[in-house]
Structure 1
Amino acid sequence: MSNLKLGVEVVSAHDLHPKDGNGYSNPCVELHFEHQKFRTTVKDRDLNPQWNEIFYFNISDSSSLPSLPLEAYVYHVDRTTNSRSTIGKVQISGTSFVSQSDSVVLFYPLEKSHIFSRTKGELGLRVFVTGDPSVRSSTTLPDLNIFHHLPREQNQQSSASLGEGTVNEMRSVPPRGVRFFSASPSSTQPAEFQVKETRPSLGGRTYDLVEKVEYLFVKVVKARDLPSMDITGSLDPYVELRLGNYRGITKHFVKQRNPEWNEVFAFSMDRLQSSVLQVVVKDKDVVSDDFVGLINFDLHELPRREPPDSPLAPEWYWLVDKKGEKTKGELMLAVWIGTQADECFPIALLHDHAVKTTGFPHDSLIRSKVYHSPRLWYVRVNVIEAQDIIIADKTRFPDVFVVCQIGNQILKTKRIQAPNFSPFWNEDHIFVAAEPFEDPLILTVIDLVSSNKEEIIGRVRIHLTAVEKRADDRMLNTKWYSLEKHYVSAEAEQTKKEKFTSRIQLRICLDGGYHVLDESTHYSSDLRPTAKQLWRPSVGLVELGILNAENLQPMKNREGKGTCDTYCVAKYGQKWIRTRTIIGSLSPRYNEQYTWEVYDPATVLTVAVFDNCQLEQSSKDHQSNDSRIGKIRIRLSTLETGRIYTHSYPLIVLQSTGLKKMGDLHLAIRFSSTALLSTMLIYAKPLLPKMHYLRPLSMLQLDALRHHAVQIVAARLSRMEPPLRREVVEYMCDVESHLWSMRRSKAHFFRLIAVFSGLQAVARWLRDVCWWKNQITTVLVHILFLMLVFFPELIAPTIFLYSFLIGIWNYRFRPRFPPHMNTRISQADAVHPDELDEEFDSFPTIRSPDLVRLRYDRLRSVAGRMQTIAGDLATQGERLQALLSWRDPRATSIFLVGCLATAMFLYVTPFTVVVVVLGFYLMRHPVFRHKLPSAPLNFLRRLPARTDSLL
């Protein structure tokens, strides 16, 4: 075999023929040479792709090289059908191969692959022969059928694994231009991060969105006349349930022969290891517990019930000894077989595959629970003025300000010099408070004696329960409040005898006409005002079935193996739900269903999975936070009415080490519209309550109020049983979304590019029309242009008709799955480790000064580019303003003369003629065009801007 190798650099392609029906293609290039095949990566939705990838072919016989052609096929890859179609091909004869030093990039026109194909465009290649021994040949492609079914990420990996020499060559290729960020990624993400449709077996009369699961319920009510077991005649009773290897234990009472437990236990029927249930009453002892009595139940003889069946009434059962003989004491029980729709299921302690230990000490931490977040109000305080301010130093005028405080929310007024001892502020301050109102409003009037000394003049305490509630923008009456004197302990007796007459004028109300933003507006699950009298009727119901999770990543070690103790939290409106904690399972089954009323479809249902880290914590280690496993957001407006969506959602978490898939969560969702007409009409109504528009709040106020609202909700929910911990509430409400992140900045930048991609496509199409790239299209556009000019009444109908036809055409391409978090759009699949470390850094930072300096310099670089773009836009606007501002007298004179001449021309020339001439001029043939800029553009670029005035 020859030591020579054929190097082929696939640079780019231009003006490819669209293949996907939307005016785009997903092109890739496949190279064939002497029974060797290599393929580039796929560029999604790009008619002008750039690859800059190098491949090396082995040359078996250098003497036969002139007779060996190189073939390059350009394919369109259809990811939905896992197929490909040919865009065009290029064939290069072996006689044109040159050495690497003489090689240049040449653009070859694409040829038709067959007689009926439509082909256009060019492919840029650099082909050369090299004898460098350090260059290694690339790895041959796998079978084509395998390639067709590879997702995009694996396709890139296969191209990247073509050989070490190839990767090094690809990295050595210099970029073809400077970009603000790296190239915009496609919105298509790898298959492992995509939503997948599932077909679970749903059933049940009450819970029809989850799988029907049967449970053995045991309700231990109470006991009576139990025998005494100790020498002292006392008894410390508790009840133990035995079902194979499973155990359930009630709490024990001290010295109580007639205890009452009222506890419910549930055992999953599909994992039972015994057909006999033993209910054993024991006496708690220091060394070993004493046996009191037992009751046996045959599972085959137990009654079955399912709502709406009536609850099963408990019965008294005689206790028997180990020999089966009747003994002293009775136990009241209820034993039946039911489903998760049973009313006892939420309060039952479940014992299934997750709990096999004897007695679990954290019953309250693993139960399911429905929470209702507190109703939040905006407290508006208008501090108007104060009168008769009394200060200790009578020789100076007071420098007074007021500190307003509710809980940990503190706001201050500006300082006022009061020559008449009656300062006037008239400032508005807004707080967040939650029902029931626990913290009062405290206003403290303070005199600034010196730069480092303050004296309290007086204080007033106002309980919010006595404050008037307001649902509209009506003006409330002011009220005077007497200030309470602030006493210093050393002179308290003498000061109390003095008469204190200072007072303050306030206007206070609880604003209920706002929606208190306890979460990000983009992900809001409730847009109603606080005042219930302003609520509109509900327009539907959303039902959520939390089925199960699969392939969870271990979060902790127990008994020498990785495991998880997971639970799910869902939030919509004021209702939060928490499923039971499934202990010790990487594939937990929840099968719990919940329902919410819907008042606006433009809202988001949020579901998250957490690992319960409180079950094994000692008293010294009670600060461990529950670990995040993943979060899912579902916008109700994207759901079809009445359809049941059963999908598997990937649980994606961005950690400081990178993007990680934690597992999959299976959900069933149904949005039912109870008032279809009201649902349609609500799209024309304001998104937020009217007070947001009548008395709008600033962005700074909204950010501060949202932060305090989340803290209030987190504090209230963390005090419930079981507690919904603070880190859970903050994660559900996206409290960290406002912090700076290079990754988020890139994501928003590319979102902005994607928004304007349609305008760019129209501009490219108009450019092609004006440059006569397709003569038939250009002629048809001329005809349409003439029709619209001479019949202008057709313009508006044509635009709306085209919009209607485009919408009907896109109906078949509508999304079939609910939208989910996209790793490509989020810039999370290729984020730099240092950017991740910066994103997960605390606020304020705890990193070293050198690292902070490095990140600051990087931020300055990015901000400098953004600053340059903003300056360029401002320059163009200032140049337009300079046309009439006489900053350049000669340019303004020329413009005014031109305006006068144009006005006289337009007065005597019909408007239709002007439009026709202008349109034909813009679409003139390239023969009549010049490559230099036009005179108006040159004139505009010479106009002055305010850049000369910048320092």
Structure 2
Amino acid sequence: MASQIPNKEKHLEDLQKCAFFQLHVHLKRGVDLTVQDVSGSSDPFVKFRINNKTVHKSKIVTKDLNPLWDESFTLSIGDVFKPVVIKVYDYNRVIKDDFMGMADLEMTNLELNKLTKITLILYDPDRSTGNLGKLLLSVTLEPKSYEEKEEFIRNSVTPTMNLHEEVERKVSCTTSNVIIRLIKGENLRPMDPCGSSDPYAKFRLGTQSHKCRSKIKTLAPRWLEEFKLNLSSNQSHDLEVTLHDKNILKRDDFMGRCNVDLSQLQHELTHRLWLNIEEGTGRIFVLITITGRTGDDTIEDLNNYREDRYANEVIAKKYAWTRTFRDIKDVGFLQVKVFRAQGLSAEDFGGTSNPFCVLELVNSRLQTQTVYRTLSPEWKKIFHFNVKDIHSCLEVTVLDDDGDSSRPDFLGKIAIPLLRIKNGEKKWYVLKDKSLRFKAKGHFPEILLECSVQWNMVRASARSLTPREDKFMEEEGKRFRTAKLNRNIARLKPYIRDVINLGKYFRSVWRWESNSRSFMAYVIFLLATYFFELYMLPLLLVFLFLKNSWVLFVSKKGFIDDHVDEFTEESQNEDEN
């Protein structure tokens, strides 16, 4: 138990003077927990709750009545006079988890800034049972000043509970989108007699779930699936992933599971996670992004954003040439401000849409909130990307949100090369179709953006010598498309025509169809034989430039424009067909 405090009244006065606290917890182990499974064991895990909200959930220790968790974490405490409720459960895959006991951690019995070892006796409030076991942990209660409290609120990436009622009120209305991209798995457990499996994955977040398609006869599947789950600040942040082997005539086999605590992931950043499979073998690779937060208190909202000159100077110094070799892989930093769009097409009944904007930089993906029933949405969000290759493009896509039941409708897209960005320029970009060749549907659809990029030229040059980063969600074996073949042939037609005309010209010279032309060619051949050197080869480009200038002067229209018009006309015919 906690040590006795000599002067209790003075200690309580000291607690009241502090603005808020941080409780550093080391959950060690459980002792003599109760049996819940028919096998004579349990799969215990622990939940820490403050104000009826779960603020931490421990890992699950399978088949052990004396589990060793050995976890360390920190809780933010607003009211130190309310106890932390600790509950122990037995994990069940199908039915509801079994309650194993609970205990109350009274923080008023803890000395400030002192490590205290505690043994908590578990009890059941609904019935008077015998010994339910014990929990062993050590805690340290650290007080914080009012200035540290306000700074903690400003700098907190995830919503922080139990600071004061105003923060709780704001956080309670904050929702986010969790974008999950399941890429691949490796070394999974074989479940079939042939030594293989037909694995698929299930994701569960609160009451929401998503089932990925199965891959046939493989222990290293590549799913390449993307989906979205909604995350509210007042719900559990524990993302549960289970793997199963698909069977036709019998129940699917369980292959393993893994958990992700979303509260530990930074918002507006794509996290690359290798998740080890518990109760099985192997691991899976996922990309998780928590983005699209709503609410006036979100950090990425432009209404709350204030330009920080000092922060800009720090970023500029970070990518200065004098610091080139400190982190050679960190090429640059991209900031994108998404203001609004207009002229979008109506995809829903009533002549409106529910647009949201997705920003992608290779494998990093962020998005705005959804603005409902409008064709001129205002998002007013600011996003940041870490640039790994200065030659990559920022892809901005506007989509219509049709809810969780169907895929969003396409409204428009643009691709902005990072090298063409003018820092601080607020600019309207015309939205294109999926091929980025024609204007998107709608009444002259466009989007207002402001981009700024800081980058180190030496690092970018070194990165240019290495292979381009693969985009995970691109299809590997793209099927043959006749329309794409016709489009590529249309692109080559002008150049093939030029080669044919050049061949006809040389044939007329060899046949002396024009005496003056053949004579001039003979003279040029003699001069080249006597005087031409290899370093003069680039002069042929000057000849091509002069030829095109002559064509422009004579015909008042360049052959390049003819080719572009012809290519556009043929492409439009393909789209109509």
TM-score, normalising length: structure 2: 0.41
Largest Rg, 1 or 2: 1
TM-score, normalising length: structure 1: 0.27
